[in-house]
Amino acid sequence: MKWTQQDLSGMTNAEIFDNDAKNYDIGGYRIRVGNVNWIENREKDLTHRLLAAMPDIAAEYGRDMVFAIVDHSYSSDEECDESYILYYGDKAKEVAEKAYGQSIEEGIIFIDRKISRKSDFIPDITEVINN
């Protein structure tokens, strides 16, 4: 499947995050989850740009935890090869690492497959939060 991706140049970090983001209330926590498709040659520093925006996004939307699922491919001619889970907020690291394993650096977990927000991420973090 060929990827299509909008040009991110000229967009603020928050605009990139909020382009496809939803709010959830899970186990007493207010959570915002963004989803971004990233093609390597178009935006090499995207994960760090999104991480930089997450504290302001948490404050703007009144969220306890903010996550971004960044689906990554090496070219627009390939399917998604991997995903990154970005996290911010009290307990976000604990929730993300219990669901997906150790961080590769502060705020970032690497997953060697595509993660769906609806089918994978929300059920996985709901299970962690509720147990």
Strand-by-strand arrangement of the 82-88 sheet: 21-26, 29-39, 65-73, 82-88, 108-111
Cα 112 to chain centroid distance, Å, stands at 14
Give mean pLDDT, residues 108-115.
Answer: 91
pLDDT of residue 5: 53
Tell me, yes or no, whether 7 lies in a domain. Answer: no
Tell me, yes or no, whether 114 lies in a domain. Answer: yes
Tell me, yes or no, whether 4 lies in a domain. Answer: no
- Give the separation between CA 123 and CA 45, rounded to whole angstroms: 28
Q: Integer distance in angstroms from the first to the last C-alpha of the chain?
A: 37
pLDDT > 70: percent of the chain: 82
Q: What pTM value is reported for the model?
A: 0.88
| 66: its two tokens | 């903010």
Q: What is the CATH number of the domain that holds 113?
A: 3.10.310.20
- 25 or 41, higher pLDDT: 25
Number of domains within the chain: 1
Examine the pLDDT at 74 and tell me if it is beyond 80: no
